A and B are shown apart, each in its own frame.
Chain A
Amino acid sequence: MNKHSLAIGLVFAVLAGGVTVHSTYAQEAEVSVADEANIALAAAEQEVEKARVAIEKGKELIAQIPEDSPLMPDVAQVVQAASDNWKIATDSLKGAKESAAKITTASSEAIANDYALLAKVNAGVALSGAKVVQIAIVYVEAIATDKSEALDIIRTTMQDALASSSQVQFNYERVKTLIAQKYSK
């Protein structure tokens, strides 16, 4: 009887040890994801600030372009794209900050991990939006300073950046849906 109890005790001890090791790894992973989220958030904040400065510069640049310029429709299109992406960037940055704030107050490690993941991807959306704004202002600058030879390249980069940025947004929605599904089961 005592031998059996000892054996059971040992098995439990080994298992408990295993579980402890497992949860330590989980904790390490959580710290890592939370750190990644904070780094992504800081980078996004920096880029959104750069985009804000670029928009201010863009207002002055647009004033330099003659109203009868044949590229005025292009400018209008690019400014519209910049405006849409500015809104996406600021909204996403706000969302990322909200998710990041919930990491430390989460009731479990798994939930904290999911908030960190959401914050990280939402910060990526903010960063992409801010970068698209910056490219748009570069395009306006090329027109305002009459650097027409650069326009083709910048136009292509703008299209590619918009395509990639929409992929970031799409995957953010995917992450959000997958996490929601996890908790609705």
Chain B
Amino acid sequence: MTTHVKTILSSICLIGVFCATTASAVDQAAAAANLAAVSAISVQANANLSTNALSGDVDGIADWGDRCDALDAVAAQAAEAYARIESELASGNEDEAQSAYDDLKTALENAKNAFGGIIPPINPVDPKDDGKKNSAGGPGRPYDPPNMYDVPWNSQNMRDFYQSHFGNFWMSGIAPRDQEATPE
């Protein structure tokens, strides 16, 4: 009889463990819905920016421009969090997936805040990160997600760099110059 009771109790424990595991499972569909919500907020912010541009409200343009930029950054964070959920679930790391899901929920909250004008502050610059090359979020922001709209080769610094580079190359005499093509 005691064995019977033990069997029942262990079954109950197993059911309990199963229920606990099911309850903590990350809902990937809900995560994708959150990701969609972030993008939908971004569309609305862009619509507001266009209305301000039409009315010629300079302050409004600056304000909504900042909000749109902040939303771009948040969208990148959200996409990164979703990618983490996918990879962690694929490798069976339930806790890590849950942590990524929480990050995605935070990104959605940040998106709502950015739309409402509460723009998250730029991360303080760590002196050791100054001048660090290949920084994802630009100089001094190495751990931020990259701005996908940034066109690095279109910056004045890059233009100056290539022009001086070409100047040096020209002066070195290796570049084709005004000389006869057939020396003979």
Contact = CB atoms under 8 A, between A and B. Distances in A.
Interface of A is mostly: helix
A64 B175 CA distance: 55
A128 interface: yes
Given A11-B9, A11-B12, A142-B54, A120 B39 contact: no
Nearest to B33: A121
A167 B39 contact: yes
B143 to A, nearest CB: 23
Interface in A138-157: 138-139, 141-142, 147, 149-150, 153-154, 157
A1 interface: yes
A65 interface: no
A90 interface: no
A19 B16 CA distance: 10
Contacts of A120: 33
A175 to B, nearest CB: 5
Given A131-B43, A135-B47, A153 B36 contact: no
A149 B55 CA distance: 11
Interface residues of A, number: 46
Given A167-B39, A168-B36, A168-B40, A160 B46 contact: yes
A153 B50 contact: yes
B49 interface: yes
6 contacts: A134-B50, A157-B49, A157-B68, A158-B46, A168-B43, A175-B29
Ranked nearest first, the 7 interchain pairs of A and B with the lowest CB-CB distance are A171-B36, A167-B39, A153-B53, A178-B29, A161-B46, A164-B42, A157-B46
Given A135-B47, A160-B68, 13 more contacts: A8-B8, A12-B12, A121-B32, A132-B47, A142-B54, A154-B53, A164-B46, A167-B75, A168-B36, A168-B43, A172-B36, A178-B28, A178-B29
